[in-house]
Amino acid sequence: MFDLDLFLKTLGIMLNLRGILILLSGTVIGMIFGAIPGLSGVTAMVVLIPMTFSMDPVTAMLLLGAAYGAATYGGAVPAILINTPGEPPNAATVLDGFPMSQQGKSGTALGAAATASTLGGFLGLIVTFCFIPVMAKFVMAFSYPEFFMMTFFGLSIIAILGEGTLLKGLAAGGLGILLSCVGYDPMTSELRYTFGIQYLWDGIEVVPALFGLLAIGEVMDLLVKKKPIADHKRSKAENSGVWSGIKATLKQPFLVIRCSSIGTIIGAIPGVGGTVAGFISYMHAKQTCRNNENFGNGDVRGVIASEAANDAKEGGALLPTLAFGIPGSAGMAVFLGALTLHGIDTGQDIFLVNMDVVYMLLISLLGCHIVAAMIGLSLADKMALLTKIRPVLFAPILFLVCLIGSFALRNSIGDVMVTLIFGLLGYEMRKFGFSRIALILGLLLGNMAELSFRQTLMTEAGVMGFFTRPISVILFILILLSVFLPFFQTYWRRRKNEE
């Protein structure tokens, strides 16, 4: 299976001046695309594909792989600094990353994100490699009931978000699920709740809503409070530099391994999506770590969990591609498209005939993580200064960037309106202690949960499908455990104290 000779030969293509320059430029472009809200790794590749026409397919893979891989790290930067994930899969990073910035520890958060991304990317590929012998069975084991349970798992994180009360979290999540029903019915194509507005046909786009809720809401709050993000009075933290972030990550090897495995497995299932990976991994970290009361208020382990899973998922997304020639993520789909343009057949046998292309993809995904981590770590302290700028100087620019970003997404002025409306909503939610992430989870996963639930009902097993399939049952038990365990723990602790 593994052809060392060919692997080294492919590595050689990268390890010369031209190769390294291509890797470097791909990584920088990817990081910039990832960091700008509204642009993503997929956009970076689509823009770069025409430039690869003059290259051979292997070199093209180097450029595209680097740009795509680096974008996921780039996306963590605005999530930490300005509460706005550069791409939806970075959404879970916001939970602890931004509170860390508020405490003046953005250097630590950025360092941890860079390290966790790199390790996650590596481990994801290793886990993927272990799964190759059973990949076809593995991918086939996930059907509609499992899809539903995965999205349900993602939704159940609302219970443990910790911002505001549980009731407020559920209200926000419920509103999100209701909003996700807008647009045409995914099964029957009937229009629902569109009020004759054509923009709403396709539902409320998640990314502009995300910018509004998180970024615009934050901008308004900054301008009202007139204080920089990192509040000096609160930032008494020592060791707030990049190195403490690296150390914090390296001190948690098992957490990184567990979260990367979660990311890889979820990434391998086409149709579930990377955003769920980040959230489930975050939830797992919160529930398995000791002294977890600080999660949601700036615990570096939250950042580590989310970023490790987020980068590991691309390794997982290779599995269905290897097994069936079916891309596991939007990024993989664009990779396959680019290969077709280079005249390479992208069926299963790409792994027999054009193995060098696959090796180059692996090498570039790994290489770009290293380069991105170096760039990210050397700039982290400088980027952290952003959180100390007076809001009047910085907030208007951020406001504009978000509006342009949401316009750039699909060239639609409707998206900009969504950003503005959700911005107002986000500000009010923040003021009254409703979790904005809960609303985003509802909006993001509501539709997927509904679709996979109804698809399950259409299968022969019907509703029993949820309880007769082993993986679905295990997931269901895990959901129950993760939702109710914290309550029992508090209850037990209280009883112990009483005794």
Point out which residues bind other proteins (CB under 8 A).
Answer: 42-43, 45-46, 49, 139-140, 143-144, 183-184, 186-190, 198, 201-202, 223, 270-271, 320, 324-327, 333-334, 337, 340-341, 343, 345-348, 392-393, 395-397, 399-400, 403, 410-412, 451, 454-455, 458-459
CB of 396 to other proteins, least distance (A): 4
CB of 82 to other proteins, least distance (A): 16
Closer of 119 and 416 to other proteins (Cβ)? 416
What are the DSSP calls for 143-173, one per residue? Answer: -HHHHHHHHHHHHHGGGG--SS-HHHHHHHH
What value, to the nearest 5°, has the Cα angle with vertex 151 and ends 148 and 152?
Answer: 80
Segment (H or E) for 191: strand 191-192
Find where tokens 């809960």 sit. 438
Closer of 157 and 448 to other proteins (Cβ)? 448
The two three-digit tokens of residue 437, written as one number: 């992430």
Report how far Cα 418 is from the mean position of its chain's Cα atoms.
21
Closer of 189 and 291 to other proteins (Cβ)? 189
Closer of 107 and 320 to other proteins (Cβ)? 320
Closer of 27 and 40 to other proteins (Cβ)? 40
Name, in order, each residue with C-beta under 8 angstroms of 327's C-beta and a sequence gap of 6 or more. 270, 317, 320, 321, 333, 335, 336
Are 315 and 124 spatial neighbours (Cβ–Cβ below 8 Å)? yes
Are 245 and 219 spatial neighbours (Cβ–Cβ below 8 Å)? no
CB of 262 to other proteins, least distance (A): 22
CB of 340 to other proteins, least distance (A): 6
Half-sphere exposure of 401 (CA within 13 A, CB side): 17
Find where tokens 């699909």 sit. 410
- Tell me how far apart the alpha carbons of residues 211 and 406 are, in angstroms, rounded to a whole number: 8
CB of 445 to other proteins, least distance (A): 15
What are the DSSP calls for 388-417, one per residue? Answer: GS-HHHHHHHHHHHHHHHHHHHHT-HHHHH
Closer of 17 and 393 to other proteins (Cβ)? 393
Handedness of CA 400, 403, 404, 406 (dihedral sign): positive
Closer of 11 and 421 to other proteins (Cβ)? 421
CB of 402 to other proteins, least distance (A): 12
CB of 440 to other proteins, least distance (A): 20
CB of 219 to other proteins, least distance (A): 9
Closer of 150 and 334 to other proteins (Cβ)? 334
- Tell me how far apart the alpha carbons of residues 341 and 142 are, in angstroms, rounded to a whole number: 31
Q: Which of 457, 449, 496, 498 is nearest to 475 (CA)?
A: 449
Q: Which of 189, 300, 179, 187 is nearest to 245 (CA)?
A: 300
Q: Which of 67, 39, 93 is nearest to 274 (CA)?
A: 93
Closer of 34 and 298 to other proteins (Cβ)? 34
Closer of 202 and 231 to other proteins (Cβ)? 202
CB of 189 to other proteins, least distance (A): 5
| b/e per residue 241-260 (b: at least 16 CB within 10 A) | bbebbbbbbeebeebbbbbb
Closer of 355 and 404 to other proteins (Cβ)? 404
CB of 320 to other proteins, least distance (A): 7
CB of 18 to other proteins, least distance (A): 24
The two three-digit tokens of residue 78, written as one number: 């605005």
Query: Which residues face 192 on adjacent strands?
Result: 183
